[in-house]
Amino acid sequence: MPEVYISSNESFDQSLKRFNKMVQQSGILAEARRREHYEPPSVHRKKKAAAKRRKSLKNAQRG
C-alpha cells in the first residue's frame, strides 16, 4: 500500500496528487477494477485475444 508523508510546508492538494500518482503507478486501482466481478477463463481468453488483435492492428498501421 502506497504511503505518503506530508511535510510541514506541503499543501494537502500536493500530497494528494503525489498519493494518486503512487497508486496509479502501483496498479492498485486497475487490479481492483479487474477483480470487481468474476470473469470465467473463457471470457478472459477472449478479451486477451481481442486486445492482442487490436495491438497488432495498431502496430501494422504505424508501419
pLDDT reported for residue 45? 96
Per-residue pLDDT of 6-15, as tens digits, reads 988 999 999 9
How many angstroms separate the CA atoms of 54 and 25, rounded?
Answer: 24
Segment 30-43 mean pLDDT:
90
Convert 13-48 into a string of H (helix), E (strand) and C (coil).
Answer: HHHHHHHHHHHHHHCHHHHHHHCCCCCCHHHHHHHH
Residue type present at position 35: R
pLDDT reported for residue 40? 93
Per-residue pLDDT of 42-63, as tens digits, reads 999 999 999 999 999 999 988 6
Higher pLDDT, 50 or 39: 50
Give the pLDDT band of residue 2 (cuts 50, 70, 90): confident
How many angstroms separate the CA atoms of 51 and 57, rounded?
Answer: 10
